[in-house]
Amino acid sequence: MKEKLSKEEWLNKALEAINQEGFGRLKIDHLVASLGVTKGSFYWHFKNRNDFVVNLVEYWDAKFTLLVIKHIEKFEGNSRERLLELMLFVTRNQLAQYDFAIHTLAQNEPEVFALIKEGLSRRFAYVASLFSKMGFRGDDLKFRSRATVMFMMQEQNSLLKESRAEQLKRIQLAHTLFTTPKKI
């Protein structure tokens, strides 16, 4: 039996647990048993379960939202190319794989709902900034931004798994659809 895990190992394991087994598995006793550690390892990093859940949401936002934004800010290219890189980067690194688990957490843990909503708002705002630089405005801007973020979240959480080549082809098509100005 392991004595102690790092804080990041705890948070990764918790995301995996709720992703694979559902929100009901996000219990200290279950996590301790599945990780083969003592409760002391948990309490070394977290004051209580509430502190753990808050840390989990902050970790998700940092690793799966802020990391993406930071990567895209360093990427050379215009806004259309940056959006494609964002979509490909998220797909290549499976950075939306825990989004449904986090949504489940928001529904079951009201104390972190606002933190999760803030993280999602950050995603929408960043993608909207890219579309805005492409010249989209108003409802068109809002719809394209929302559709892109929601597509990316759904794409990795689909039960219909396909090859990486098919997934990347679909990303390219979605990018073209989202960034092509509508003709009236």
Residues of each domain in the chain carrying CATH 1.10.357: 49-179
- pTM of the predicted model, to two decimals? 0.89
What confidence score (pLDDT) does residue 132 get? 98
Type of residue numbered 2: K
pLDDT: which is higher, 97 or 145: 145
Helix axes 49-61, 99-108, angle to 10 degrees: 140
Lookup: tokens for 89? 């980067």
- Average pLDDT value for residue range 111-138: 96
State yes or no: pLDDT of 154 exceeds 80. Answer: yes
State yes or no: pLDDT of 2 exceeds 70. Answer: no
Euclidean distance between CA atoms 33 and 87, whole angstroms: 36
Euclidean distance between CA atoms 52 and 172, whole angstroms: 38
Cα–Cα separations (whole angstroms), residue 132 to 30, 59, 79, 175: 46, 28, 9, 15
Q: Express the helix, strand and coil content of the chain in percent, nearest 5 each.
A: 75, 0, 20
Q: Which CATH number fits domain 1-46: 1.10.10.60, 3.40.50.1820, 1.10.10.10, 2.40.50.140?
A: 1.10.10.60
Residues of each domain in the chain carrying CATH 1.10.10.60: 1-46
State yes or no: pLDDT of 66 exceeds 90. Answer: yes
- Average pLDDT value for residue range 101-105: 85
- How many Cα atoms are found within 13 Å in the side-chain-facing hemisphere of 183? 2
Q: Which of 27-31, 57-61, 95-99, 160-164 has the lowest mean pLDDT?
A: 160-164
Q: Which CATH number fits domain 49-179: 1.10.1060, 1.10.357, 2.60.40, 3.90.550?
A: 1.10.357
What confidence score (pLDDT) does residue 159 get? 60
State yes or no: pLDDT of 1 exceeds 60. Answer: no
pLDDT in tens, 19-43: 887 776 678 888 888 888 888 888 9
